Amino acid sequence: MPYTASQFEGSDSRKGLNPATLLIIVSLWIAIVGNGALWQEMVKLGRLQTAKDIWVAICMGLMIWAALVALAALLAWRRSIKPALIFLLIAAALGMHFMMSYGVVIDDTMMVNVFQTDPRETRDLLNLRLFITLLLVAGIPIVWLVFTPVQPTKWRRQLLRNALILIAGGALFITAIALSFQGFSSLMRNHKHVRYLLNPLNSLYAIGQIATKPLRHGPQPLQAIGQDAKLGASYAAGNKPPLLMIVVGETARAANFSFNGYARQTTPQMAQLSQAEPFIYWKDAWSCGTNTASSLPCMFSHLGKEAFEDSKARYEGLLDVLQRAGLAVLWLDNQSGCKGVCDRVENVNVSQAKVPEHCSTGECHDLVMLHDLDARIAALPADKRAKGIVVVLHQMGSHGPAYFKRVPPEFKKFQPECLTNNLSECTREQITNSYDNTLAYTDQLLASSVKWLKAQEKTSRSAMIYVSDHGESLGEKGIYLHGLPYAIAPDEQKHIPWLNWFSPEFASTQKLDIACLQQNSAKRITHDNLFHSVLGLLDVKTSLHSPKLDVYAPCLKP
């Protein structure tokens, strides 16, 4: 007796599940279990109390499920479905861990950080809790997937089936939005960050944003800027060449600086030096981004935050202009790199240096950047050095969550510390202690830098600018670390320390009125000011320089 169609299908299903069925089951698991961070946040926001709230939450779960099914429908083939689902599961588990452990959300700038991170930063994030989340959220379904055979399929029939689940997924998605529209849209309006918690759609969207950026913006040749840059009158014969040190801080927030009124003395060395030549502390300074990858290129750009973020073109930055004007420029990096801003000037990464004095704990502490500094400067082109020198130190600073690793033992004065990267195991007090120790060590670096600058006074007139790239959350409102989208990030992630030190000779040659600067230092400034302020401070003449954005310009004596 010949097989009928239904008998044939029946014998097929005993051999395993159809790829589409696997997709539907695993997506449902991700929508429910993999969205722990979303459900937790809804509870925290008090949005799971009424029947209407719960209905909105159920519809959001349906949206995530439907979107995953529709997105992955094209991959529901015998050989591709398992790798695709395993990828989604791991992405969901990783995203959930970071959102739940540190209160971060996942958007494209956070994803850029993930891609640009170095092995040291990754090591800092590994812990038992991550392992457990991976095991529960991704491990269980992955084991089930591995042991579940996939039905052999005929490609025409599978294509039809996949097209159907794609359409069904799309239809369910639209229906779920329609059925909860009022509640859902009010939730999104009032709590913008919730959209970045839809897991792993947030990661997929961010990856899509990054991957399509070159397509959306077209190929981006690097455009030269400040081609008219020249050194001004203060470089006349008879004046010593300027030596400017720019220290780019990492994750230092203004709130914990004693200069900012913090009750604890986190900057004792600078406080002492300040008695002779006062530091100028800008009390109201704000970052361009909330993470290194977005802040660093922005602060060295001539465009300012708004134009920089809108810009489709790629431009040179501050250091290119300084070098073009004739100055010797050196970038020293104790972190994962300069995100492109030092590409065309002399640059050295010292984070793997073999200097026992500073690198004996498995990573090099920031003072390593002053080691050999004289020799590194002596190696810069002599003709440029004779005109002036700009040295940038890019700190490891207060990079978390393993704050305790950033500081050598002898500088840890605030105790007890949080000695794990899993901040949820520590008290707020321990976390703050470890964080404050990183600032006290930064104080050590800045004070040592000023002493080094003073020692160069026979041949140079020297100055220092210290400015952090962004701030940090230390558990306020349950949020840790940084990187929240700017519009919703708390002030702790955006209010940054910016300070200056000028040698008397630098100030007099440059006609800087220090008392005036002290008075002006309460003015609101941002990273938008850095480019123009450095050009002004170094008397580099170019049509790009905007005196309005130069924070030092109002205090030049006539």
Range in contact with Zn ion (rule: CB under 5 A) among 84-92, 205-213, 291-299, 499-507: 291-299
Range in contact with Zn ion (rule: CB under 5 A) among 32-40, 115-123, 286-294, 438-446: 286-294
Structural tokens at position 215: 């397509």
The CB-of-443 to Zn ion minimum distance in angstroms stands at: 18
469 binds Zn ion (CB under 5 A): yes
Please say which residue, 388 or 397, places its beta carbon nearer to Zn ion: 397
Contacts for 317 with CB less than 8 Å, ≥ 6 apart = 225, 297, 300, 301, 302, 340, 341, 531
- DSSP label of 343: T
Please say which residue, 127 or 292, places its beta carbon nearer to Zn ion: 292
Residue with tokens 């299903």: 13
CA dihedral 141, 142, 148, 151 (to 10 degrees): 100
Residue 183 near residue 53 (C-beta atoms within 8 A): yes
Minimal CB distance to Zn ion: which residue? 292
Q: Distance between CA atoms of 46 and 178, rounded to whole angstroms?
A: 22
Please say which residue, 250 or 316, places its beta carbon nearer to Zn ion: 250
The CB-of-112 to Zn ion minimum distance in angstroms stands at: 12
Please say which residue, 41 or 108, places its beta carbon nearer to Zn ion: 108
Please say which residue, 292 or 449, places its beta carbon nearer to Zn ion: 292
In this structure, the strands spanning 222-223 and 328-333 are unpaired
Please say which residue, 346 or 472, places its beta carbon nearer to Zn ion: 472
Sort 268 into a burial class: Cβ within 10 Å, 0-12 / 13-18 / 19+. Answer: middle
Residue 331 near residue 319 (C-beta atoms within 8 A): yes
Residue with tokens 């006349």: 236
Structural tokens at position 68: 């995953």
Q: What angle do CA 94, 99, 103 make, to 5 degrees?
A: 155
The CB-of-468 to Zn ion minimum distance in angstroms stands at: 8
The CB-of-470 to Zn ion minimum distance in angstroms stands at: 5
| Amino acid (1-letter code) at residue 245 | M
The CB-of-395 to Zn ion minimum distance in angstroms stands at: 9
Q: Distance between CA atoms of 389 and 467, rounded to whole angstroms?
A: 19
Q: Taking CB under 5 A as the criterion, which residues in 219-278 touch Zn ion?
A: 250
438 binds Zn ion (CB under 5 A): no
The CB-of-469 to Zn ion minimum distance in angstroms stands at: 4
Range in contact with Zn ion (rule: CB under 5 A) among 201-209, 217-225, 468-476, 525-533: 468-476
Per 3-state DSSP, the chain is made up of helix, strand and coil in percentages (nearest 5) of 55, 10, 35
The CB-of-526 to Zn ion minimum distance in angstroms stands at: 16
Detail the DSSP E strand segments found in 219-353: 222-223, 230-231, 242-249, 280-281, 284-286, 314-315, 328-333, 346-349
Range in contact with Zn ion (rule: CB under 5 A) among 38-46, 268-276, 287-295, 341-349: 287-295
Residue 451 near residue 501 (C-beta atoms within 8 A): no
292 binds Zn ion (CB under 5 A): yes
Range in contact with Zn ion (rule: CB under 5 A) among 54-62, 187-195, 432-440, 462-470: 462-470
Please say which residue, 475 or 483, places its beta carbon nearer to Zn ion: 483
Give the interface size with Zn ion as a residue count (CB under 5 A): 3
Q: Distance between CA atoms of 519 and 51, rounded to whole angstroms?
A: 57
Please say which residue, 364 or 396, places its beta carbon nearer to Zn ion: 396
Please state, as a whole number, how many other Cβ atoms lie within 10 Å of the Cβ of residue 109.
22
The CB-of-250 to Zn ion minimum distance in angstroms stands at: 5
Please say which residue, 292 or 529, places its beta carbon nearer to Zn ion: 292
The CB-of-113 to Zn ion minimum distance in angstroms stands at: 9
Q: Taking CB under 5 A as the criterion, which residues in 169-198 touch Zn ion?
A: none
Range in contact with Zn ion (rule: CB under 5 A) among 99-107, 275-283, 379-387, 465-473: 465-473
The CB-of-64 to Zn ion minimum distance in angstroms stands at: 31
Please say which residue, 42 or 481, places its beta carbon nearer to Zn ion: 481
290 binds Zn ion (CB under 5 A): no
Please say which residue, 302 or 394, places its beta carbon nearer to Zn ion: 394
- DSSP label of 151: P
With b meaning 16 or more CB within 10 Å and e meaning fewer, what string describes 196-218? bbbbbbbbbbbbeeeeeeeeeee
528 binds Zn ion (CB under 5 A): no
The CB-of-421 to Zn ion minimum distance in angstroms stands at: 16
Range in contact with Zn ion (rule: CB under 5 A) among 102-110, 357-365, 463-471, 484-492: 463-471
495 - beta bridge partners? 286
Q: Distance between CA atoms of 304 and 544, rounded to whole angstroms?
A: 12
List residues binding Zn ion (CB under 5 A).
250, 292, 469
